Amino acid sequence: MMTNAINVAVIGYGYWGPNLARNFHQLPEARLALVADLDAARLAEVARLYPTTTVTTDYRQALARPEIVAVAVATPVRTHFAIAQEALLAGKHVLVEKPLALTAAEAEALIALAEQQQRTLMVGHTFEYNPAVWKIKELIAAGEIGQVYYAYANRVNLGRVQWDINALWNIAPHDVSILLYLLEAMPLEVSARGAVYLSQGVEDVVFLTLTFPGNVLAHVQASWLDPSKVRRLTIVGSEKMIVYDDVDNEAKVKIYDKGVYRKGNAAYGEFQFRVHSGDIHIPRIDMTEPLRNECAHFIECVRTGQRPRTDGACGLRVVRVLEAAQRSLERGGASVQV
């Protein structure tokens, strides 16, 4: 740890908090100063793993200590806005887990407050710090796959069932953020259908369709009620196709030299289509833990004042898509403009 390391507090030590705490503890530029959680057993684990870290059931202790300059919020989504708002008002730099808030109005309020307080506001869209996703972005930007036609993502698993937030808000933010990052555009409209099987009023499975400019179509399937763990994104281009499988440790990104080409007499409209199928290329990617990249970037932004890659505006864009999708869910799948 550096002598001038940034003191960080992690608020929430449930599902994701332990990963944040581990990374901030390991970063030489940071010091894990405090962890707050309501569960005494979780705090006992923190005390065992990090003996020099303060543990408390009152997160406001982190806000009251002037030497703690940054906080990471990993509490239930319904509390993100209130805690982030308090932290910014206390003069802290804030990293909020996805999604930033439950409404665009709340996200906008946090952005305005961060600017007013001259503090960093960053959102934990972890996949935007994933070297495999960076590689896909590079390939698309270089025209490697030609024109992007459509994309579809499957993010399903059996477990981590939520009672207070549906699969749209809990799981889909990952793929929405990836799509916005890769396509560099907001969808024009979205539609979503879902179904409730376990907890009343909470959709366990959601099928989300997004229409982007240029007739680019994207689809996201999100569910915690599925027999297999799947984390896969397929992008179909005019010349090549990409499959990103986050579960595959050996070949996370595969480039398929496949496509369909039109030939024939344009004057008479007599076209035929030729299918091309070539090699499969697996690019070499130097993988580093995305969350470590994210936490290091947050500390760097706190130290230098630079704008985060996933700043409040980035978080707002994802919330706007989710908010429109939620309206579509409530309207039985009707298209909703974003």
pLDDT tens-digit series, residues 173-196: 999 999 999 999 999 999 999 999
Domains 6-127 and 131-289+321-337 share a fold: no
Mean pLDDT of the chain: 95
Residue 52 CA to residue 62 CA, distance in Å, equals 15
Residue 266 pLDDT greater than 60, yes or no = no
Handedness of CA 8, 9, 13, 16 (dihedral sign): negative
Residue 28 CA to residue 264 CA, distance in Å, equals 62
Strand 205-212 relative to strand 216-223: parallel, antiparallel, unpaired? Answer: antiparallel
> For the whole model, what pTM was predicted?
0.94
Percent of the chain with pLDDT over 90: 90
More confident residue, 272 or 54: 54
**What tokens does 247 get?**
């579960």
Residue 276 pLDDT greater than 60, yes or no = yes
Closest among 235, 234, 241, 276 to 256, alpha carbons compared: 241
pLDDT value at residue 157: 96
* DSSP designation for 13: -
pLDDT value at residue 278: 79
Q: Do residues 258 and 277 lie in contact, with contact meaning Cβ atoms separated by under 8 Å?
A: yes
Q: How many CA atoms lie within 13 A of 116 on its CB side?
A: 10
Q: Do residues 145 and 191 lie in contact, with contact meaning Cβ atoms separated by under 8 Å?
A: no
pLDDT digits (tens, 9 = 90+) for 120-166: 999 999 999 999 999 999 999 999 999 999 999 999 999 889 988 99
Residue 237 pLDDT greater than 90, yes or no = yes
Residue 91 pLDDT greater than 80, yes or no = yes
Segment 235-243 mean pLDDT:
96
pLDDT value at residue 152: 98
More confident residue, 262 or 91: 91
* DSSP designation for 126: G
pLDDT level of residue 277 (50, 70, 90 thresholds): confident
pLDDT value at residue 270: 61
Query: What are the structural domain ranges in the chain?
Result: 6-127, 131-289+321-337
Residue 226 CA to residue 233 CA, distance in Å, equals 17
pLDDT value at residue 309: 97
pLDDT value at residue 258: 82
pLDDT value at residue 275: 79
Topology of domain 131-289+321-337 in CATH is: Dihydrodipicolinate Reductase; domain 2 (3.30.360)
Topology of domain 6-127 in CATH is: Rossmann fold (3.40.50)
Q: Tokens 């209130």 map to which residue?
A: 82
**What tokens does 269 get?**
């409209």
Residue 263 pLDDT greater than 70, yes or no = no
270, with CB counted inside 10 A (0-12, 13-18, 19+), is: exposed
pLDDT level of residue 264 (50, 70, 90 thresholds): low
Percent of the chain with pLDDT over 70: 96
Segment 298-305 mean pLDDT:
97
pLDDT value at residue 268: 57
Residue 272 pLDDT greater than 80, yes or no = no
Strand 270-281 relative to strand 253-265: parallel, antiparallel, unpaired? Answer: antiparallel
Strands (E) in 24-167, as ranges, are: 30-36, 54-56, 70-73, 93-97, 121-124, 148-158
**What tokens does 232 get?**
């896969």
